[in-house]
Chains A and B, each alone.
Chain A
Amino acid sequence: MKKEFTRRDFLVSAGKVMATGLFLPLGSLAIAQKTSFAQEAAKDIAWEKVWEGKEWGFVVDTSKCIGCARCVMACKQENGVPVDKEVYRTWVERYVESANGQINVESPQGGLGFEQGDETSEKQFFVPKLCNQCHNAPCTQVCPVGATYKTGDGVVLVDRKRCVGCRYCIQACPYGARFLHPELKVVDKCTWCYHRVAKGMKPACVQVCPKGARKFGNLKDPESEVSVSIKKEKVRVLKPDMGTEPHVFYIDLDEVVK
Chain B
Amino acid sequence: MGGYVFPNELEVNWGLFIVLYPYITGLVAGAFIASSLYHVFGKAELKPVSRLSLISALAFLIVAPMPLMLHLGQPFRAFNILWTPNPTSAMAGFGYIYSFYMIIVLLEIWFMYRKDLVQYAETRTGFARLGYNILTLGAKDISPEALHTDHKIVSALAVIGIPSAAFLHGYVGFIFGAIKANPWWSTPLMPVIFFLSAIVSGIALLILIYSVSCKLRDRKIDFACLMSLNKYLWFFIILASTLEILEVVHKGYEGKEEWPMIRGLIFDTIPTTYFGVQMTLGVLVPFILLLLGRSERLATKTRELLTVVSGLLVLIGVFAMRFNVVIGGQLISKSLAGYANFHVGLINDEGIIPTMLLAFLPIAILTVLVRILPPWVGDEPVEEEMEEHKAMPNIVTSQTVSSR
The stretch among B36-44, B67-75, B266-274, B366-374 that forms the contact with chain A is: B67-75
With the chains together, A86 CA to B141 CA distance in Å? 65
Does B146 interact with chain A (Cβ within 8 Å)?
Answer: yes
> Is the Cβ of A145 less than 8 Å from the Cβ of B7?
no
Q: Mark B142-153, 1 if CB is under 8 A from A, else 0.
A: 000010010000
A165 near B: Cβ within 8 Å?
yes
Distance A194 CA – B147 CA, assembled complex (angstroms): 66
For A12-33 the 0/1 string (1 means CB < 8 A from B) is 0000001001100100110011
* Interface contact A166-B72, CB-CB below 8 Å: yes
The answer to whether A6 and B141 have CB atoms under 8 Å apart is: yes
Given the contacts A162-B80, A185-B73, A171 and B14 also touching, CB distance less than 8 Å: yes
- Band of interface residues on B: 35 or more
The 8 Å CB contact of B4, one of A6, A105, A145, is A105
B8–A178 touching, CB < 8 Å? yes
Q: Is A226 on the interface with B (CB-CB < 8 A)?
A: no
Contact in complex: A168, B181 (CB < 8 Å): no
> Is B285 an interface residue when CB atoms closer than 8 A count as contact?
no
| B13 with A171: CB separation less than 8 A | yes
Residue in A88, A138, A177 whose CB lies within 8 Å of B180: A138
Binary interface encoding of chain B residues 24-37 relative to chain A, with 1 for a CB under 8 A from any of its CBs, else 0: 00000000000000
Q: How far is the CA of A162 from the CA of B81 in the complex (A)?
A: 10
In the docked arrangement, what's the CA distance between A165 and B81, Å?
11
- The answer to whether A174 touches B334, judged by C-beta atoms less than 8 angstroms apart, is yes
Contacts of B94 in A (CB 8 A): 144
Complex Cα spacing A243 to B141, Å: 61
- A186 at the B interface (CB under 8 A): yes
List of A residues within 8 angstroms of B10 by Cβ: 86
Chain A residues in 8 Å Cβ range of B72:
164-166
B246 at the interface (CB under 8 A from A): no
**Alpha-carbon distance between A145 and B76 when the two chains are bound, in angstroms:** 13
Measured CB to CB, the closest approach of chain A to B64, in angstroms, equals 15
Question: Is B179 part of the binding interface, using a Cβ–Cβ cutoff of 8 Å?
Answer: yes
A144 touches B91 (CB 8 A): yes
Q: Do the beta carbons of A87 and B92 come within 8 Å of each other?
A: no
Contact with A along B4-24 (1 / 0, CB 8 A): 111111110110000000000
In whole angstroms, how far apart are the Cα atoms of A22 and B104 in the complex?
13
Instruction: Report 22 cross-chain contacts, Cβ distance below 8 Å, ordered by A residue.
Output: A5-B138, A10-B138, A21-B103, A86-B7, A106-B4, A107-B4, A138-B181, A140-B88, A142-B91, A143-B86, A144-B89, A146-B84, A162-B84, A164-B72, A166-B72, A166-B91, A171-B182, A171-B330, A173-B334, A180-B73, A186-B74, A187-B73
Contacts A166-B73, A176-B7, A258-B337 given; 20 further ones with Cβ under 8 A? A21-B99, A86-B8, A105-B335, A107-B4, A138-B179, A141-B88, A142-B89, A144-B85, A146-B89, A162-B77, A162-B80, A166-B72, A168-B89, A168-B175, A171-B181, A176-B6, A177-B8, A179-B8, A186-B74, A258-B334
